[in-house]
Copies of this chain bind each other. A is one copy, B any other.
Amino acid sequence: MALRRTAEERRSEIVSAALRLADALGPDRLTTEVIAAEVGVSQPAIFRHFRTKQAIWLAVADNVADRMTAAWDDVLDRPSGPVERIGELVSAQLRLIEATPAIPAILFSRELHVENEGLRARFLELVGRFHQTIAGEVRRAQGEGEMTGDIDPNDIAFLLIGLVQGLALRWSLSRRRFGLEAEGARLLAVQLTLLGQSAAAGTGKDRS
């Protein structure tokens, strides 16, 4: 018999086992059986702590949401300029994905897209919050003349998020054959240069 733990401890053991295994096996091969084996209890023990398997996924989503939110807040607490912060937000996001590689897989999973409406809603909200955060910094950058003011901040944010998501999909399709953050940093630099150029041209600085 497995050692007896408090319910609190077991719940978090189950969530982190689920995240680890969702990466190793793919989100849709994640069965209550393999989670139980990883945690070291019997399969039915899982259902002491989560009424259904979907509930495990919702707890996983909450865990990811908490860590993302913390990373964003961390960037926003720094006393840096808006363009710099946009770069840091994107980098933080890529680092988080690299550290928890199950995340893109979950975004692409049947669980999210078909089985578990609540899971989809949670990730949609999370993506929306990321968009708002970026768009806010873009607005500040435009106000300070560090980024072209001709374009709707929301569209700029969509382009930057598209960069992250396109990268994540390519990373995923390629079986992670390149470094996500390094590749992202290069593309991000390109995009930020493009976004800064006309602002610089307009104010006369940084012209070559």
Contact = CB atoms under 8 A, between A and B. Distances in A.
Interface of A: 25-29, 105, 107-110, 113-114, 120, 123-124, 127, 148, 150-151, 155-156, 158-159, 161-167, 169-170, 172-174, 186-187, 190-191, 193-195, 197-198, 201
Nearest to A120: B173
A171 B201 CA distance: 35
Contact of A169 (B105, B169, B197): B169
Contacts of A165: 162, 165-166, 169-170
A123 B169 CA distance: 12
A107 B174 CA distance: 12
Give the interface SS of chain A, mostly helix, strand, loop or mixed.
helix
Contact of A197 (B25, B113, B198): B198
Given A108-B108, A110-B110, A194-B198, 20 more contacts: A27-B110, A28-B114, A107-B169, A109-B110, A127-B173, A158-B187, A159-B159, A159-B163, A159-B187, A161-B170, A162-B163, A162-B164, A162-B165, A162-B166, A162-B167, A162-B187, A164-B166, A165-B165, A165-B166, A197-B201
Contacts of A172: 113
Contact of A191 (B29, B108, B159, B187): B159
Given A107-B169, A166-B164, A114 B26 contact: yes
Nearest to A114: B26
Contact of A108 (B113, B123, B127, B167): B113
Contact of A187 (B114, B155, B186): B155
B124 A113 contact: no
